[in-house]
Structure 1
Amino acid sequence: MQRLEGMRVLVFVEDTYEDLELWYPKLRLAEEGAEVVTAGPEARKVYVGKHTYPCRSDASFYDLQERDFQGLVIPGGFAPDKLRRIPKVLDLTRQFMAAGKLVAHICHGGWIPASAEIVAGFRMTSTPGIKDDLVHAGATWVDEPLVVDRNMVSSRKPDDLPWFLQGCLQVLERKL
């Protein structure tokens, strides 16, 4: 039996996502048995990463509900800056947090939880470029490859992906 069999994980996608930060978690979580659903503003649209790798969304996040998933992964790149302006993205992110489910973000992905106003009182990391945004939103920022604080998992950059996925698995396995 695979570690995450029967679990569903939502991954946000939009143009200019960080290619590795979407694909490594998507493939690694699927390898552990999770159904990974990529969702952007439009269903079945091809979104292009910063390094031009394509990702066809499985669904539109407008059609999804938190209750159908056990976790949320937010890749970095410049996509989070676009997505954090969309009320549905912020609502979904808040709902995952309120339900105590995995909310994982890497690099610039932390912009979405900051804009959703759910980082106050959490210890977290990110790319140094958004450190001030997280601190101003009430987080305690640290420069570490992985931070797990309750149900929130954060990492700084693509090089941290192995640790990031260990943190994601740790939180998701608590839900089994």
Structure 2
Amino acid sequence: MTDIAGTKILIMATDGFERSELLEPRQELKHAGATVHVASPKSGKIKSWKDGDWSDTVPVDLSLDEVKVADYAALVLPGGVINPDQLRTDEKAVGLVQQFVAAGKTVAAICHGPWMLAEAGVIQGRAVTSYGSIRTDVENAGGVWEDSEVVVDNGLITSRSPDDLPAFIAKIVEEVGEGKHARR
């Protein structure tokens, strides 16, 4: 895996995140040398959701109000149905997605995470993928949906499901290694 030592990456999530879609990117990005922080609208710990089980917790490193986009090279948006559905109703969370995209930073969303991209209005005319059940939402937001394990459009990375995590994480590392992307 490419070395991205010294790079800071933000994962934005709340209760109901898909366990593997937060834990695996966090672990692998740290392994590649990045400093990874978890930001959430709530403090303390957030709980994962998998198959009816509120289980693993992850400590929150900072609140959404504390996030400074300039401090980070990338934003990762895990899925799960509950997590992005909650975050897309939070103006600060949506605003952070818009700021990361406007700054040309890498933004990666997996599974239901692209709901955040749709809510932020940042996928118009861009190639994206998502969990199949939100395809219509993505297309209605102007995204050009395709059924691929990972889709990259000028620093915007999307994947369909936990099965795609290896390709998703590899693309995050690659895109972060490339640096800032031109605004669209």
1:65 is aligned to: 68
| Whole-angstrom distance in 2 between the partners of 1:86 and 1:97 | 17
Q: Which amino acid aligns with 1:26?
A: R
> Quick check: which one's strand share is greater?
2
Q: What residue is the counterpart of 1:76 in the other structure?
A: 79
Is residue 16 of structure 2 the alignment partner of residue 13 of structure 1?
A: no
Moved over 6 A (4+): none
Tell me what 2:26 maps to.
26
Give the alignment partner of residue 120 of structure 2, picking from 113, 116, 128. 116
2:45 aligns to what?
A: 46
Matches of 1:175 and 1:138, distance apart in 2: 26
Unaligned runs of 5+ in 1: none
% identical aligned pairs: 36
1:35 is aligned with what amino acid? T
Residue identity opposite 1:125 in structure 2: T
One-letter amino acid matched to 1:34: A
What secondary structure, in the 3-state scheme, does the structure 2 residue paired with 1:50 have? strand
Q: Which amino acid aligns with 1:4?
A: I
3-state SS, counterpart of residue 17 of structure 2: coil
CA drift at 1:65: 1.4
Task: State the distance in 2 between where 1:26 and 1:86 align.
Answer: 23
Residue equivalent to 1:55: 58
- CA deviations on 1:53-74 (whole Å, 9 max, x unpaired) are 1111111111111111000000
CA shift for structure 1 position 42 = 2.4
Aligned to 1:104: 108
1:145 to 126, 129, 149: 149
TM-score by length of 2: 0.92
Match of 1:93 among 97, 101, 109: 97
Tell whether the 8 Å contact from 2:14 to 2:42 is kept in structure 1 after alignment. Answer: no
Aligned pair count reads: 174
What residue is the counterpart of 2:130 in the other structure? 126
Distance 1:90 1:11 in 2: 14
Partner of residue 174, structure 1 = 178
CA deviations over 1:68-90 (Å, ceiling 9, x no partner): 10000000012000001111111
